[in-house]
Structure 1
């Protein structure tokens, strides 16, 4: 949907935003957390095959999702997703297993402490992303409390990545903690008018760069 110039501009903008989220997370866990965005795309329902290919390259089988809903002048849903084993590894790296004695786990291997930590990671990251989009679009946004879900992704299943009447902003993201790199994805469902305004803002950024 985006041309190469628009995609590069959006990627650069989101890398700045993700960097801000990394600073917040670094302060929260008292260690350096880098966040990278190697790929950004804005997709429609007709782009489902592109999304399926992208999902298959990152998310297969059992997946952990930290999500929140947002609304008022711009509404949708945002998800931070990892394969379960990578999500568990990220939580362990950021909070340290040895600090907690909660060893009761669910079927995905997540303890209550792990689930709370993943919820907070998603809360910080998604709030920064949605907040920045709200500022870019000059739109008032309110957030729900974050939710954790354990999903199974297979085949051509499109939900929860596409909603009828929405566009999907897809960000491949990488957490760098110490020497470890944990890859996941962020999906932000936007209503059509919000996606159109986002493209207009991207074009304005390009005008500022090249004028």
Structure 2
């Protein structure tokens, strides 16, 4: 998943972002509310993790603004405020979950997994389209009982494409989804990554799943011949 983490305490944000990255997530880690305010309007995220008390713009305000933009990704509020009234304030602002500091990283990962299960493609601990399955815990892709191991970046690309169904995704969208907001990928980074993922899919017989839409971008979809068989 692409996750925005906003926390101004460096002693807290560094281990949070590290453990999320180790779990295979792409994380934008921000220390101030104003930068986060720009990012939530400019980029798409699968999950927001917001500290309540932030410089310039609070996490509660960010959550409320995010919902007013019509965006529906889950929001987790972190705060040392632990009263029932505080939790109600956070949930009423549009948050889906509320975690009281100090943060336990094992519990945080469990909360992230729980929120990720809201995807309509979620099936147990994997994402699927037809017979193509991505196992998020092992970073393996399976098709017709054939399995191949993916790299972290390959898995992130397949996860992103699975979460967007048969939508055509251009290079700019993929770069924004898979690279951190302050990093600049090489010119051919997306092309090379798509090529590597396509080779992995070919190894398990999913030859025509990753389609190049010339002049536009890339699309993941079940080949027409297989769809016709499945509808009989």
Question: What TM-score, normalized to structure 2?
Answer: 0.28
Question: What TM-score, normalized to structure 1?
Answer: 0.30
Compare relative contact order (CA 8 Å, sep 6+) and give the higher one, 1 or 2. Answer: 1
Question: Hey, which of these two has a bigger chunk of helix by percent?
Answer: 1
Question: Hey, which of these two has a bigger chunk of strand by percent?
Answer: 1
